[in-house]
Structure 1
Amino acid sequence: MYIALLSYTAPRNEVDYALAEHAEWLRGHFARGLFLVSGKGGEDHDQVILTRPCLRGKLDAVLASDPLVVQHLAHYSVIEFSATRTAQEFHAINEALAS
């Protein structure tokens, strides 16, 4: 699994113009089953995405296709981890990890 941390590299008013495209890009990857959770980050990161396990090269290619990255408005940092415990509410994630 991965945590992808998105940080804006351009002023927010420039980023705002590409957010609709970014939202559509997110929807597509949720529909394809790669993304599990996304949302606003804290002070250090503007957005956070939790993904299913996949090849790192595949994830890098997907993140590089984000309109915010393509337009040089943001970049990603990625943390890889193996979830060994999850809450019952994440039962579907438990099943995904088992397969």
Structure 2
Amino acid sequence: MYVVMVTYTAPVPDVDYALPDHAEWLAKQYEQNHLIASGRRDLHRGEVLIVRPMSRLKLDAMLASDPLSLGHLAAYEVIEFSASRTCHELHAVNELLAR
């Protein structure tokens, strides 16, 4: 599983212009069952993505297809971790990780 810290690297108006395309990209990632959660960081600094387990190569390819990446508007910090405990609502996700 991964936590991806997205940091905007371009002026806010440039990022805002790309956000509708980015929102479509996020929807596609949810449809493909890649994302668990996502949301904006405070002060319009970027976003946080929580990504289901996958190969790092697949994750890198997924992030490279993000309009924010394609437009050189954001940087991505990828943190890989193995969840050993989850809240009740994410129990099914944790069970999948144990397999």
Query: Which residue type is aligned with residue 9 of structure 2?
Result: T
Q: How does 1:6-45 map to 2 (within 5 A)?
A: 6-42=6-42, 45=45
Show the counterpart of 1:75.
75
Q: Distance in 2 between matches of 1:64 and 1:6?
A: 12
Moved over 4 A (4+): none
Instruction: Verify: 1:97 aligned to 2:97, yes or no.
Output: yes
Instruction: Verify: 1:4 aligned to 2:14, yes or no.
Output: no
1:45-64 Cα distance to aligned partner (Å, 9 max, x none) = 51000011110010011001
- Structure 1 unaligned runs (5+)? none
User: Identity, % of aligned pairs?
Assistant: 52
Q: Distance in 2 between matches of 1:11 and 1:39?
A: 19
Show the counterpart of 1:62.
62
User: TM-score scaled to structure 1, two decimals?
Assistant: 0.92
Tell me by how many angstroms 1:91 deviates.
2.1
| Greater alpha carbon shift after TM alignment, 35-44 vs 15-24 | 35-44
Alignment length, in residue pairs? 99
> Residue 14 of structure 2: SS of its match in structure 1?
helix
- Structure 2 unaligned runs (5+)? none
Q: Distance in 2 between matches of 1:31 and 1:49?
A: 15
